[in-house]
Copies of this chain bind each other. A is one copy, B any other.
Amino acid sequence: MAWNTAETKRRLKESAVAEFAAHGLGGTTMERIARRAGINKERLYTYFGDKSQLFATVLADELNKVAAAVPLDSLDGPEAVAAYAGAVYDYHAEHPELTRLLLWEGLLDLPEVPEEDSRTDYYRTKVAAFTRAQQANLISADIPGADLAFLILALAGWWYAVPQMSRMMHADDPATPDTAREALMRAATKLATPAV
């Protein structure tokens, strides 16, 4: 069997993403990352350094993807904002590991956020799309662009951050992914619609 370092690294990182997303930094063991990948534990150390370095690497690589995630060029009205919110929601549904990594990063309160610069750039383009649409009077301007963009992401992400709260609040009439998505899009539309 031919050497294939790149593939080995890829498999280890893929496995690390899954384990860290599922159990966090503290709950994950190097042993299990290696076993899941079907590769010896020692490879992790030679390729990625110790556990916290591996975690930082995984965060850096994967969370750039989250920031870049859903494309957003221009917003021509409240409906486009709602469509964006829906797309973000769908992205979370398709990539639960990345969402969880993002939340774990928030809880860990790291002094330095990995890849902060490039991620900031990605977010900046999203915010710019909102402010541009506001200046063109296409969507409501009574909430600052950065805040509006952030709150739209809040509406889409909260379902995944505290699923147990959703369950308890919808005890009498359970939320399905569809009803949640529908509510979210209506809310996004309202936030983006100018007040009369």
Contacts and interface: CB of A to CB of B under 8 A. Distances in A.
Contacts of A195: 190, 193
Interface in A17-33: 23-28
Interface in A92-141: 100, 102-107, 109-110, 113, 116, 119-120, 123-124, 126-127, 140
Interface string A168-185: 111111010001100110
Contacts of A127: 169, 172
A72 interface: no
A151 B162 contact: no
Interface residues of A, number: 65
A187 interface: yes
Contact of A113 (B25, B153, B168, B169): B168
A86 interface: no
A157 to B, nearest CB: 7
A146 interface: yes
